Amino acid sequence: MKLAMGKRITVAVVCVLVAAAVIAALFFGANAGTTRQGETAAGSTVPPSSTPLDTGNGEPDNTGTGQTPEPTGAKKVLNVYSYDDELELIINEYIRRNPGFDYEVRLFYTPLVDYYHTLSLINQNLPGDAEAVADIYCVPVAYASHFTKGEMSRYACTYKELGIDVEAALKKADIPQYVIDAGTNPDGELIALPYKPYVHVFMYRRSIAREVWGTDDPERISEIIGGGTESWDKFLQAAQTLKKHGYYIVPGCHDLSLMIDTSIQAFSSDSDAVTWINPDWEDFMKISKAFYDQGFIGDILPYGEEWSMALNGKGDKPAFGFFIMLDFINNTALDYYLRDTAGDWAICLPPFKTADGNVSAGVMVNRNSPHKEALGPLIEWITLDCSETGLQYLRATDTLYRQDAVGYHLYELAGGKKPVVSGTVLHNTSTDIAFLGGQNINPVVYGSQRTPSRVNHSYSSPQSGFFLAWFEETQAYIKGEKSKDAAVADYLRRAEELAAGYKETFEEYGMSHLLP
């Protein structure tokens, strides 16, 4: 099927670490006692209902559903829509710590982070229950603007409406301005804040840094690789130096990709064909080719045995480091791949500041929720409370979860000291990570959040064909199997075919009008 004539269709994919999929799969397979809805073997969702939803302007809106009142005396149910399974653990932990908050959490989630699986959220209609409305919801950074800036922002309750003293709380918590701006609706009101930072950092081997440069100090290594310069120049110089000592700077071009706007984009034109990709990605192809031809990187795919061996110093040629999302530093998946060098790692600011689109852009409350008046303290606890009893302090100090409360399996995934957004918490805690040789990551986290990161705007999951098609073509180019023009042309052809498949899926469910 051809793409719609005269309509510009965005086809993009978040270029995220495969570890994200691994961790997500483990999370989604677990159950912390919360009722889960809308789950199928393939992760599909039930098409949205067309029942009008009150938007507060006196007119019905056919993009959602009405809320059925709960029977008198029934246990209060909190409907939570999230692809981030930790939100379930967090809310249950709040309930455990606040017995007066008498709610049962009913989690609706999608195991794939993509535009199609979030359509039920756009419509404020939960999969598997045509009468349910999301009370609390969160969406990935990749397409958060649809919910904070676009038409769907009208569904979100402002933090002021929740009874939060927003101005005072923001100042006290020291939330980065660009994070505030991202969560502010067109009327200038705050409607969403995240609890996880979503920037990338560079993670490197301390022993190699000392051998090559005589220091493993994060500030010094950041300077050497051009941290925050928005340029490849120093990173290229560092790669040349590392090559002389027998090291790759990173295992392969996939690791370099996180320094580009982390989406793969193709746009259709009026000629009904996918004809254009983001120029940043064409630059990435050239950079990858140059690094590969000069022997600065290898032909190694991320999160596989060869990648693990290179970073553990056991491959044909060891690698100095790689780029990683902050929240994945202290987890079992990373330990699985790099256990042999645990303690010999550190993180620093990377040359380019990009944001991972697979992380939540913020927690939001449905303005049509019958429980919204009771949700203010919960939302403030998650996003703005910088006291020693607030979520972010507890998360940064690994005092949030008890193994007997969440279970050993979930604690292994969600436990450990974690990076947070609040600058106040970052200054008042020491989030020292044993895997990083005891490094307190907070100075790096704080520095990474002081200026905006480039945020991708994507509509497809990392498991989709777009991701695979792009890197298959890029690999063919850097290895000399295709010219750059041929690789781009082949990708665009494959992207158009994949986009047509997406369009068929949307049309099948009567939702083609919601195509971006």
Structural domain boundaries in the chain: 1-16+263-278+462-511, 32-196+360-417
Give the model's pLDDT for residue 414.
Answer: 74
Higher-confidence residue of 259 and 445: namely: 445
Work out the average pLDDT over 75-100.
87
Give the model's pLDDT for residue 185.
Answer: 96
Work out the average pLDDT over 387-416.
82
Q: Give the closest residue to 496 by CA, choosing from 262, 272, 281, 261.
A: 272
Can you tell me which residue has the tokens 């259709």?
Answer: 268
Count the Cβ atoms, other than its own, within 10 Å of residue 469.
Answer: 21
Query: Pairing mode, if any, of strands 77-81 and 104-108?
Result: parallel
pLDDT tens per residue across span 331-341:
777 888 999 99
Give the model's pLDDT for residue 295.
Answer: 97
Confidence of residue 28 (pLDDT cuts 50, 70, 90): very low
Give yes or no for residue 64 having a pLDDT over 50. no
Q: What is the rounded CA–CA span in Å between residue 429 and residue 441?
A: 10
pLDDT tens per residue across span 311-332:
999 988 999 999 988 878 877 7
pLDDT tens per residue across span 224-267:
999 999 899 999 999 999 999 999 999 999 899 888 765 555 54
Identify whether the C-beta of residue 61 lies closer than 8 Å to the C-beta of residue 364. Answer: no
Identify whether the C-beta of residue 44 lies closer than 8 Å to the C-beta of residue 100. Answer: no
Q: Give the closest residue to 54 by CA, choosing from 37, 66, 44, 68.
A: 66
Partners of 105 in the beta sheet? Answer: 78
Give yes or no for residue 455 having a pLDDT over 60. no
Residue 42 class from Cβ within 10 Å (0-12 exposed, 13-18 middle, 19+ buried)? exposed
Average pLDDT, the chain: 77
The phi, psi pair for 201, rounded to 5°, reads -135, 165
Partners of 190 in the beta sheet? Answer: 184
The domain 32-196+360-417 is classified under which CATH number: 3.40.50.2000, 3.30.70.260, 3.40.190.10, 2.60.40.10? 3.40.190.10
Beta strands in 112-224 (DSSP E): 136-140, 200-205
pTM beyond 0.85: no
CB within 8 A of 271, min separation 6: which ones? none
Higher-confidence residue of 149 and 291: namely: 291
pLDDT tens per residue across span 119-129:
555 454 544 55
Identify whether the C-beta of residue 290 lies closer than 8 Å to the C-beta of residue 249. Answer: no
Confidence of residue 450 (pLDDT cuts 50, 70, 90): confident
State CA 268 to chain mean position distance.
Answer: 26
Confidence of residue 276 (pLDDT cuts 50, 70, 90): low
Q: Give the closest residue to 15 by CA, choosing from 310, 335, 256.
A: 256
